Amino acid sequence: MNHVIGVDLGTSAVKLLLVDRTGGIAAEVSKPYPLIQEKSGYSEQDPDVWVEQTLAGLEELVQQAPCPPEEIEGISFSGQMHGLVLLDDERNPLRNAILWNDTRTTKQCHDINRLVGEEQLLAITKNPALEGFTLPKILWVKENEPELYEKAATFVLPKDYLRYRLTGELAMDYSDAAGTLLLDLVSNQWSEEICETVGVDPALCPPLVGSHEQTGHLDSVSAGRTGLTMNTKVFAGGADNACGAIGSGILTDGKTLCSIGTSGVILSYESSRDKDFAGKVHYFNHGAPGAYYTMGVTLAAGDSLSWYKNVHAPEVPFEQFVQGVEEIPVGSNGLLFTPYISGERTPHADANIRGSFIGMNHSHTRNDFTHAVMEGITFSLKESLEIFRAHGKKIDTIVSTGGGTKNDYWLQMQADIFNAEVVKLSSEQGPGMGAAMLAAYGCGWFQSLESCADEFLTVDKTYVPGQERVEKYEVLFGIYQDVYEQTKDLNERLVAYR
């Protein structure tokens, strides 16, 4: 047995990696799917489309594999976090999944705060009530679609539904459960107190497992469809950011990750759950046993750039669209962008804020705008970084991952804006690689995830901050930070027109 598969169920696509015993990528497949956005603030996907695209992707992966299917020992998963998949008693989805970047649940967040109490919620879950998390979505369905809620027998998260469909076994791992706002981070069990206080039946919560634990084998239907064998071991996997941390070697204190996918995150390893960030950043279980991580989230990071590209040049491939941005100077010739197109999480938990371009003039070209979008996304991530620095973390090296690393110039911009060395690994697919590492560790190939990381992960390139650009960006960052307060009220007044 010499290969494992990592499946990353992202927001824009499912990405599948076939990985050998040295961490080499033997085959790679990506299958996209759309977002369903019926209203401003709504964001949904059809869970069965995830399954269909994953099965089709696995079939292609097996066809591309340099080894027979019997040599593929295990498979594991990384998944977009927080998305609510409600299942009936026959385990069929009752409605579309409500995703992490759906912000319809402001009222339910207020209700949770009122009923549980903000301090008690923080004491139990280490996190505040935010629209993106799963519990407010459960309460939204209970309140707005009671006839569906009555039929609900269980809830799961996106990759858990996918894993269930491949194996017939239902489970949720701790790293993803932490993002539901229902996990007691101290006892590592579902919080009966929160369930009772907000009126959610604890029986809806699925069994909890560790990310590296085996949760069955592929069933005959999935094996038949994909060409894999029924002996393929299936491991639980984790939240995409937990897997991204594993797949980027963020496995010891002091290590920091920047991920630019649809969302953007700045994530830092924590060996204990005892630190106090007062809920300013998320605090979740890691996919590595017994560990934790803290992170700040930009809701629309890569998504802002995709949005901008889709408005102006939907037919142009990304690589071509961003060509020429390297000729634009620091500050985009006076154009500034805030990436709040889906509202924001860190540091401004605000579902109503929206993005801005400030400083437009006649001379601005499409490249100026693209450059400003990249800068605005990176400034937003710097705001999370500064929270960590303000809490005493010394961050001088950051591993960068996600689709955003496909552009060399953007990686240099990250180094200059973050004022830190930015490291790009050989594979930009941190979450998929992390999932493959969980399968490799689960199969017993390595004693620990750290030793797996030593074997699997290699640095491709390091980007060093340039002093002159760092200083210019420091000043611009101050202007960027002023935009939120100055556009907050304007955006509240525009809500009625959305």
Ligand X SMILES: Nc1ncnc2c1ncn2[C@@H]1O[C@H](COP(=O)(O)OP(=O)(O)O)[C@@H](O)[C@H]1O
Q: Quick check: 145 and 104 in contact, CB under 8 A? A: no
For residues 12 and 481, which CB has a smaller minimum distance to ligand X in the complex? 12
Q: Closest Cα partner for 281 from 192, 185, 348?
A: 348
Pick what 134 binds: ligand X, ligand 5SP, none; C-beta below 5 to 8 Å, kind-dependent. Answer: none
48 among known catalytic residues = no
Tell me 84's DSSP state.
Answer: B
Cα–Cα dist 67/486, whole Å: 58
Read out DSSP for 358-380?
A: ES--TT--HHHHHHHHHHHHHHH
**Any binding-site annotation on 82?**
yes
Helices (H), 65-208: 106-116, 118-125, 134-144, 146-149, 158-167, 174-177, 192-198
Pick what 154 binds: ligand X, ligand 5SP, none; C-beta below 5 to 8 Å, kind-dependent. Answer: none
Q: How far is the CB of 179 from ligand 5SP (least distance, A)?
A: 6
For residues 198 and 341, which CB has a smaller minimum distance to ligand X in the complex? 341
Asked if residue 347 has a cis previous peptide bond (ω within 30° of 0), the answer is yes
What does the CA dihedral 301, 307, 308, 310 come to, rounded to 10 degrees? 140
- The residue from 105, 127, 262, 414 that contacts ligand X (CB under 6 A) is 262
**Residue 244 makes contact with ligand X by CB under 6 A:** no
> How big is the site for ligand 5SP, counted in residues (CB under 6 A)?
16
Q: How far is the CB of 308 from ligand X (least distance, A)?
A: 9
> In the chain, what is the straight-line distance between the N-terminal and C-terminal CA atoms, in Å?
55
Which residue is catalytic, options 20, 184, 240, 416?
240
For residues 10 and 128, which CB has a smaller minimum distance to ligand X in the complex? 10
Per-residue binding string, ligand 5SP, 119-138, x by CB under 6 A, is -------------x------
**Residue 102 makes contact with ligand X by CB under 6 A:** no
- The residue from 237, 261, 264, 355 that contacts ligand X (CB under 6 A) is 261
For residues 25 and 153, which CB has a smaller minimum distance to ligand X in the complex? 25
> How big is the site for ligand X, counted in residues (CB under 6 A)?
19
Angle (CA) 327 328 334, round 5°: 165
**Residue 319 makes contact with ligand X by CB under 6 A:** yes
- The residue from 31, 82, 159, 212 that contacts ligand 5SP (CB under 6 A) is 82
Please list, in sequence order, all residues whose beta carbon lies within 8 angstroms of the beta carbon of residue 154, skipping any fewer than 6 positions away: 86, 87, 91, 170, 203, 204, 205, 206
- The residue from 302, 343, 355, 376 that contacts ligand X (CB under 6 A) is 302
Bridge-based pairing state of the strands 233-235 and 72-79: parallel
In this chain, which residue has its C-beta nearest to ligand X? 403
Cα–Cα dist 107/181, whole Å: 16
- The residue from 131, 240, 344, 416 that contacts ligand 5SP (CB under 6 A) is 240
**Residue 241 makes contact with ligand 5SP by CB under 6 A:** yes
Tell me 403's DSSP state.
Answer: G
Q: How far is the CB of 1 from ligand 5SP (least distance, A)?
A: 29
Cα–Cα dist 267/291, whole Å: 13
Pick what 318 binds: ligand 5SP, ligand X, none; C-beta below 5 to 8 Å, kind-dependent. Answer: ligand X
Cα–Cα dist 281/133, whole Å: 13
- The residue from 4, 5, 11, 364 that contacts ligand 5SP (CB under 6 A) is 11
The interface region with ligand 5SP, picked from 46-54, 79-87, 267-275, 310-318 by CB under 6 A, is 79-87
- The residue from 151, 273, 406, 469 that contacts ligand X (CB under 6 A) is 406
Q: How far is the CB of 404 from ligand X (least distance, A)?
A: 5
**Residue 78 makes contact with ligand X by CB under 6 A:** no
Q: How far is the CB of 155 from ligand X (least distance, A)?
A: 22
Q: Quick check: 247 and 434 in contact, CB under 8 A? A: yes
**Residue 401 makes contact with ligand 5SP by CB under 6 A:** no
Total count of residues recorded for the chain:
498
Place of tokens 């620095």: 389
Q: Closest Cα partner for 147 from 85, 86, 205, 102?
A: 86
Pick what 319 binds: ligand 5SP, ligand X, none; C-beta below 5 to 8 Å, kind-dependent. Answer: ligand X
Cα–Cα dist 206/233, whole Å: 21
Cα–Cα dist 417/166, whole Å: 43
**Residue 100 makes contact with ligand 5SP by CB under 6 A:** yes
**Residue 262 makes contact with ligand 5SP by CB under 6 A:** yes
- The residue from 10, 79, 179, 442 that contacts ligand X (CB under 6 A) is 10
Neighbours of 110 (CB within 10 A): 12
**Any binding-site annotation on 172?**
no
Q: Quick check: 337 and 301 in contact, CB under 8 A? A: no
Active site residues: 240
Query: Which chain residues interact with ligand 5SP by CB under 6 A?
Result: 10-11, 80-82, 100, 132, 179, 240-241, 261-263, 265, 282, 297
Annotated binding site, which residues?
A: 81-82
Residues that bind ligand X (CB under 6 A): 10-13, 261-262, 302-303, 305-306, 318-319, 322, 402-404, 406-407, 410
